[in-house]
């Protein structure tokens, strides 16, 4: 029988899909891995264009306008939306039966809001830790301990 458990390790710029993991057996595995990466952007790169100036409502003065939100945070939220969309596509293709999400706390919060009900139903564990850079064996062990404590 084929293992159809996936592990998602994500932060605001990188997502690792580890496909075909057997969480029941403590043995060396060689699952398929897919990595999605975006270049992290700094606020000064995103805000290269100044927001402009506005005229004051009284008098002849002008003042600089400010950004209404954090553009770096918005970029990370967009990336989480892309990851959630990919998961929905994989689920529609019947690619996995269960999912373990291991994500940085803010990314996990974004994903919780963005994931569809069907993907949430397949999610067997959520771990609020950034495991994007950990070796695959350690990632599998972390997921195993969350699912089978």
**For residue 24, what are its two tokens?**
């029941």
Please give the domain boundaries of the chain with CATH numbers for all domains.
5-39+69-147 (3.30.420.60)
Count the Cβ atoms, other than its own, within 10 Å of residue 15: 24
pTM of this structure = 0.79
pLDDT category of residue 53 using cuts at 50, 70 and 90: low
Position of tokens 């595995």? 29
Beta strands in 11-97 (DSSP E): 14-21, 32-37, 53-55, 62-64
pLDDT, position 125: 96
- The percentage of residues in the chain with a pLDDT greater than 70, rounded to a whole number, is 77
Distance CA 113, CA 43 (A): 24
**Residue 58 CB-density burial (10 A; 0-12 exposed, 13-18 middle, 19+ buried):** exposed
pLDDT category of residue 74 using cuts at 50, 70 and 90: confident
Question: Which segment of 22-26, 44-48, 94-98, 111-115 scores lowest on mean pLDDT?
Answer: 44-48
């Amino acid at each position: 029988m084929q293992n159809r458990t996936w592990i998602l390790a994500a932060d605001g710029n990188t997502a690792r899909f580890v496909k075909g993991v057997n969480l029941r057996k403590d043995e060396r595995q060689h699952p398929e891995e897919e990595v999605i990466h975006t270049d992290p952007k700094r606020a000064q790169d995103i805000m290269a264009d100044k927001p402009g100036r506005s005229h004051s409502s009284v008098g002849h003065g002008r003042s600089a306008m400010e950004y209404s939100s954090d553009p770096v945070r918005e970029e990370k939220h967009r990336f989480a939306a892309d990851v959630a969309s990919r998961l929905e596509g994989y689920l529609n293709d019947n690619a996995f039966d269960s999912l373990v999400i291991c994500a940085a706390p803010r990314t996990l919060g974004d994903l919780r809001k963005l994931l569809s009900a069907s993907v949430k139903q397949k999610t067997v564990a959520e771990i609020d830790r950034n495991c994007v850079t950990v070796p695959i064996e350690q990632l599998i062990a972390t997921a195993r301990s969350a699912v089978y404590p």
